[in-house]
Amino acid sequence: MARWQPHASERLVVAALELFEERGYENTTVIQIAERAGLTKSTFFRHFPDKREVLFGGGAVSGLLVEGIDAAPAGAGPLEAVAHALEVIGAEVFTSDRREFGARRSAAIAANPELREREALKGLRVTASMTDALKRRGVPDLAARVAAELGALAWKIAYERWTDAANGDTFGELARRTLAEVRAAGAVC
């Protein structure tokens, strides 16, 4: 038998999300989260650098986006490369079994300014990563920044649609469609 109960950080994430839903982020203490997960404050901060990060830990996303852009066919334009990356994310991270969790997580984040702030920072990082990846493909600086920004916007909207979706649309499909709409809207401005 294992010495400790396994999946400590997953347990912390679940406990945190439950408590945030029950009593709100700011009325929840790190100690309470740790206790619900059968752990202590020390252990919490060993798994997450701060209280907010417990809802943002699975940060493989940024790396996958970069890989997705790098792996896009050489002839693809900047926005096509971004579309390719979004489909990678959809296949690897935003799988249908995580849809409900994603929706609960989004609701918790939307309900609290501190969590929205952290989400905004993550958004900046993702955009910066995409910009760099596009520049490595030879896309000129400004075009790369614009494409990354539009990609991030499409991602945000697609994520909203995915978590709300009553039908079984894949994140990848939604993202592709949304990016096309964003592109069309951009052409009109």
Q: Which residues bind DNA (CB under 7 A)?
A: 1-4, 8, 28-31, 34, 38-43, 45-47, 49-52
Taken in order 39, 31, 115, 118, the sign of the CA dihedral is negative
Q: Which is nearer to DNA, 47 or 99 (CB)?
A: 47
From the list 66-74, 97-105, 139-147, 165-173, the region that binds a copy of itself by CB under 8 A is 139-147
Cβ distance 181 to 156 under 8 Å?
no
Residue of the chain from 124, 132, 136, 164 that contacts a copy of itself (CB under 8 A): 124
55 counts as binding a copy of itself under rule CB under 8 A: no
Cβ distance 102 to 17 under 8 Å?
no
188 counts as binding a copy of itself under rule CB under 8 A: yes
77 counts as binding a copy of itself under rule CB under 8 A: yes
Q: What one-character-per-residue DSSP string does 95-150 give?
A: -GGGHHHHHHHHHHHHT-HHHHHHHHHHHHHHHHHHHHHHHHTT--HHHHHHHHHH
Number of residues in the chain: 189
Residue of the chain from 47, 51, 84, 118 that contacts a copy of itself (CB under 8 A): 118
From the list 16-24, 30-38, 147-155, 164-172, the region that binds a copy of itself by CB under 8 A is 147-155
108 binds, among a copy of itself, DNA, none (CB under 5 to 8 A by kind): none
- d(C-alpha 189, C-alpha 146), whole Å: 14
Least Å distance, CB 51 to a copy of itself, is 14
